[in-house]
Amino acid sequence: MKKNVTLFAAMAMGFFLSLFSANLAAQGTDGQGIVLRLTIDGVSTDYRNGACGYGTAAWGGAVTDEACLDVVWGYDITPDSLGCDSIPAGSLNGKAAMIRRGGCEFGLKALNAEKGGAAFALIANNVSATAGDDCNAIPMGAGAVGDQVTIPALFLCRNIVNLIDAALLAGKSVQICPLLPRLSASYAEF
């Protein structure tokens, strides 16, 4: 009996220690648990999944690492930033490619960004649903080729897109950092 109580106490202690560990992630594989940190010239703002934040895709790669990536427009060969045509290989190496909504399926946009070397695809909502509505965050359908995408893909609300676009036009430094919430982090939801 004493052996069973000791074993149970050790298992319970291990469980509770893991709950309070700084390394315990509270993130799902589809991007819904991440916090998206936008940093413009050193000033950071955190966004979450949903209104005035971002939408997710049930396809594409999972966010498994915390990495800050420079944001650039993903220009294709037309040259526009719709991502419906091929994007020159290597032109987006290690970057977060922002691609405008419209013209073709979300999966094709993300796949073209990946083929251009992007580490992350950010689909930019450049259209509001109603006048003054810049907070639409929608889930993205895969289309015909979304199952081939291996990089993470998120849909950015127009309010975030406008901030990024203005910063890029002004020559400012723009980075996106997907953060895996930790129970000990100030940005973790309880």
pLDDT at res. 129: 62
- pTM confidence score: 0.78
CA 5/CA 21 separation, integer angstroms: 24
- If pLDDT is split at 50, 70 and 90, which confidence band does 32 have? low
**Closest residue by Cα to residue 24 from 185, 179, 182, 190:** 182
List pLDDT tens digits, range 112-162.
999 999 999 999 987 766 556 788 888 899 999 999 999 999 999 999 999
Question: Which pLDDT score is estimated for 186?
Answer: 55
In the structure, what pLDDT confidence band is assigned to residue 30 with cuts at 50, 70 and 90? Answer: very low
> What mean pLDDT is predicted for residues 57-64?
91
CA distance 81 to 101: 9
Q: Looking at residues 36-61, what average pLDDT do you find? A: 93
Residue 11 has pLDDT above 90, yes or no: no
Kindly indicate the confidence band of residue 98, based on its pLDDT and cuts at 50, 70 and 90.
very high
Does residue 76 contact residue 114 with C-beta atoms inside 8 Å?
no
Beta bridge partners of 72: 97
Element (H, E) at 140: none
Q: Supply the pLDDT for residue 23.
A: 37
190 or 36: which carries more pLDDT confidence?
36
